[in-house]
Amino acid sequence: MSKLCLSVTWKLVCTYSQLRASKTPTCCVSMSSFYNSEITLCPSCACGCMNNEACVKTQSTISQIEGDVPMKQCTQHMCPIRVHWHVKKNYNAYWRVRIAITNFGYNVNYTKWTLVAQHPNLNNVAEVNSFIYKPLHVYGSIMSNADDTGMFYGVEKLKNDVVLEAGSNGSVYSEMILKKDRNIFTLNHGWAFPRKVYFNGDECIMPLPVSYPSLPNSVIRVSNIGRLVIIQVVVAILYQSL
């Protein structure tokens, strides 16, 4: 009697949907720079609005929360995580960035977090302090513009792999030095800030480009003042000659 052998194969495709994982965004990005005193905050209601969600206004009220109900600190953006990108220094051949991650969630502890950023100069990183940095160009087959994309994660021995709950221990930061590419480097038009940021795989809400910290337009202001002075002098001379 002959035996009939059947070979069964199948194909499994895994996908991730941020909308399925969370109904609202889970992080936002704020910005600042050494050349502008104004801080670009996370967009208002980026992850919900204070009127529509329960939140904790003061840390003293945490004890009143029963059980392990996730609660957020009351903020204008209402995001559990905020990523702040600060352009700190501009050297002759290098420039420096400070990245800070702040947890606004109570009863939430982000262990072994990951941060992914897209920026044109991430293909020329010279040094990263406190965080571990891995360029993603080695995975170019699965990512577009992979040369401009890098992943950060915490250093376990420095306890940076854990972002503790909201409060004094709820923030970690690192500084990064990037070598300038003379062909593309500029501080104009928000170039120094990331295009996209992801925290634990979720895309963070970015500010509108028009609100990015801009360079002071001192040259134009001076030239305008100079023109005004010249006009006033000419008018005064003409008036005296009449």
Domain of residue 46, CATH code: 2.60.40.290
The one-letter amino acid code at 162 reads V
The answer on pLDDT for 230 being more than 50 is no
pLDDT one-digit tens code per residue, 87-128: 999 999 999 999 999 999 988 889 999 999 999 999 899 999
pLDDT value at 69 more than 80: no
Q: Is 38 inside any structural domain?
A: yes
pLDDT at residue number 229: 44
Short-list 121, 128, 81, 130, CA closest to 101: 81
Q: Is residue 8 part of a domain?
A: no
d(CA 242, CA 240): 6
150 located within any domain: yes
* pLDDT for 9: 80
Residue 150, pLDDT above cutoff 50: yes
Per-residue pLDDT band for 70 (boundaries 50, 70, 90) equals confident
Share of the chain above pLDDT 90, in %: 55
pLDDT of residue 174: 96
Phi, psi of 17 (to 5 degrees): -115, 120
* 3 falls within a domain: no
- Domain membership of residue 15 (yes or no) is no
Q: Are strands 162-163 and 110-111 parallel, antiparallel or unpaired?
A: antiparallel
Q: For residue 15, what pLDDT band results from cuts at 50, 70 and 90?
A: low
Q: Which residues contact 170 (CB under 8 A, 6 or more apart)?
A: 102, 103, 104, 163, 164
Contacts of 189 by beta carbon, 8 Å cutoff, 6+ apart: 209, 212
Is residue 14 predicted with pLDDT exceeding 90?
no
Residue bearing the bigger pLDDT, 233 or 1: 1
Give the whole-angstrom CA distance, residue 155 versus residue 49. 34
Residue 157 has what pLDDT?
Answer: 87
- 204, pLDDT greater than 90: yes
Cα–Cα distance measured from residue 206 to residue 118, given in angstroms and rounded to the nearest whole number = 12
What residues does 81 pair with on adjacent strands?
Answer: 27, 103
**Spatial contact of 147 and 197, defined as CB atoms under 8 Å apart:** no
Count of structural domains, the chain: 1
Choice between 88 and 184, residue whose per-residue pLDDT is larger: 88
- Is the pLDDT at 7 greater than 90? The verdict is no
172: in domain: yes
- Asked whether residue 4 is domain-assigned, the answer is no
**What's the pLDDT at 52?**
74
Q: How confident is the model at residue 131 (pLDDT cuts 50, 70, 90)?
A: very high
Q: Looking at residue 208, what is its pLDDT?
A: 95
Supply the range of the domain harboring residue 206: 21-236
* pLDDT at residue number 19: 54
Amino acid at 108: V
Q: Answer yes or no: is 10 within a domain.
A: no
From the list 127, 131, 90, 98, the residue with the least C-alpha distance to 114 is: 131
